[in-house]
């Protein structure tokens, strides 16, 4: 794709590109994979890492922020970003291990279950909800009270990717899947990341970086 290695093609550019020229079919084709529709049985995709290939370079973090926060305070960031704002976070361990972590796409959504704010009684939609278009766990920022229950649930039960905004307490760090073409996956210089269907049988599904590091330390360093 022509966008390869392009960090800061913004979300807006992406949508724009959808409607110009020959990219449409391809891009729409890509997009369709991320439609989350449990009734039709289309499965959700998430980002997973081949830990034997990951080197901990943190290019995934910077490319994530470049795409998902292409503008800040009204200014374009042009890829000049702080990696700690990323929705994928590379956790480092000693003995040397690098464990990139993102939302695992848990079908049973413990984060949403923990959210105490019901927004729509009919549909059961909460302040934290599953965006059916993108497949991403999303925050209704208007309704969210920043209680942090989702973050706690994710941390105690699964990967622990949800962070609370320092000021508002509202959840951050949720993977957006970059409109179906995750920036981290295409920019990883080592080909360590892939975008695949959620598989709860996968060895590392839903595990925290600490748990994964424990397993890999046994495997590599004993």
Partner 1 sequence: MEDIFGILLDINLTTRKTENIYISKRDIELFVGGRGLAMKVLYDRIKPGLDPFSEDNPLIFMSGTFSGLPIPSSSRTCVVTKSPLTSPKKSIFEKASTVSYSNIGGFFGPEIKFAGYEGIVITGKSPFPVYIKIEDNEVKIKDAGDFWGMKTDEFDNAFKKELGDNNFQTCYIGPAGEKKVAYASILHTAGRAAGRGGVGAVMGSKNLKAIAVKGTGMPNVKNPKEFNNLANKARAYFKGREATKYWREEGTAGALKSSSDKGSMAVKNYREGTFEQIENYDAKASREKIWKRDYACYQCQLSCKKSGVVVEGRFKGTIVHDSPEYETGTMVGSNLMLTEINDVMKAIYDGDDYGIDIISLGNTIGFLIEAKEKELIDINFLDGIDLKWNDIDSILSMIKKIADRDGIGDLASKGVKVLSEKIGKGSEKFAIHVKGQSLAAWNVHVNPGTGISYTTSNRGACHLNGGDVDRQNANALKDSLAICFFATGWGGFDTNQLIEFVNAITGSSWDENSFKKAGERIFNLEKMINIREGFTAEDDVLPERFYTEALSSGPKKGAILNRDEFAEKLLEYYKSRDWDISSSKPSEKKLKELSLDFLI
Residues that bind partner 1 (CB under 8 A): 4-8, 52, 55-59, 62-63, 66, 76-82, 84, 91-92, 94-98, 187, 189-190, 220-222
Give me the residue label for tokens 């291990």: 97
CB of 195 to ligand SF4, least distance (A): 12
Q: Which stretch binds ligand SF4 (CB under 6 A): 106-114, 130-138, 172-180, 187-195?
A: 187-195
Residues counted in the chain: 222
**Separation CA 111–CA 113 (nearest Å):** 5
| Alpha-carbon span 105 to 205, nearest angstrom | 9
Q: Which does 181 bind (CB under 5 to 8 A by kind): partner 1, ligand SF4, none?
A: none
Interacting partner of 124 out of partner 1, ligand SF4, none (Cβ under 5 to 8 A depending on kind):
none
* Closest approach of ligand SF4 to the CB of residue 71, in Å: 23
4 binds, among partner 1, ligand SF4, none (CB under 5 to 8 A by kind): partner 1
Residue 200: other Cβ atoms inside 10 A: 11
Instruction: Provide the strand spans (E) within 134-191.
Output: 137-139, 163-164, 171-172
∠ Cα 16 134 140 (to 5°): 105
Q: Which is nearer to partner 1, 86 or 112 (CB)?
A: 86
Return the number of the residue (51 or 129) whose C-beta is nearest partner 1.
51
Which residue number, 13 or 143, has a Cβ lying nearer to partner 1? 13
Which H helix or E strand runs over 45?
A: strand 45-49
**Segment (H or E) for 218:** helix 209-221
5 binds ligand SF4 (CB under 6 A): no
Size of the site for ligand SF4 (CB under 6 A): 15
Stretch that binds ligand SF4, among 18-26, 56-64, 107-115, 172-180 (CB under 6 A): 56-64
Q: Does 60 bind ligand SF4 (CB under 6 A)?
A: yes
User: CA 54, CA 123: separation in Å to the nearest integer?
Assistant: 41
Under 8 Å between Cβ of 104 and 158 = yes
Residue 188 within binding range of ligand SF4, rule CB under 6 A: yes
The partner in contact with residue 193, picked from ligand SF4, partner 1, none with C-beta cut-offs of 5 to 8 angstroms by kind, is ligand SF4
- Residue ranges of E strands in 75-213: 75-76, 89-93, 97-101, 118-120, 125-126, 128-130, 137-139, 163-164, 171-172, 193-197
List residues binding ligand SF4 (CB under 6 A). 49, 54-60, 90, 98, 100, 188, 190, 192-193
């Amino acid at each position: 794709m022509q966008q390869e290695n392009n960090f800061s093609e913004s979300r807006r550019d992406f949508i724009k590109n959808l409607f110009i020229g020959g990219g449409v079919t391809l891009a729409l084709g890509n997009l369709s994979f991320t439609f989350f529709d449990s009734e039709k049985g289309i499965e959700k995709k998430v980002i997973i890492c081949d830990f034997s290939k990951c080197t901990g370079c943190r290019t995934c973090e910077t490319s994530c922020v470049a795409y998902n926060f292409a503008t800040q305070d009204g200014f374009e960031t042009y890829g000049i970003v702080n990696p700690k704002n990323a929705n994928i976070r590379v956790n480092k361990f000693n003995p040397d291990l690098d464990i990139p972590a993102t939302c695992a796409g848990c079908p049973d959504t413990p984060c949403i279950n923990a959210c105490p704010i019901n927004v729509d009684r009919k549909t059961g939609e909460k302040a934290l909800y599953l965006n059916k278009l993108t497949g991403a766990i999303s925050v209704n920022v208007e309704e969210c009270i920043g209680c942090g229950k989702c973050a706690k649930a994710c941390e105690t039960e699964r990967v622990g990717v949800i962070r609370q905004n320092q000021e508002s307490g509202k959840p951050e760090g949720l993977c957006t899947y970059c409109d179906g073409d995750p920036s981290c996956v295409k920019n990883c210089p080592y080909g360590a990341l892939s975008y695949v269907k959620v598989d709860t049988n996968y060895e590392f599904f839903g595990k925290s970086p600490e748990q994964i590091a424990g397993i890999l330390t046994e495997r590599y360093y004993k």
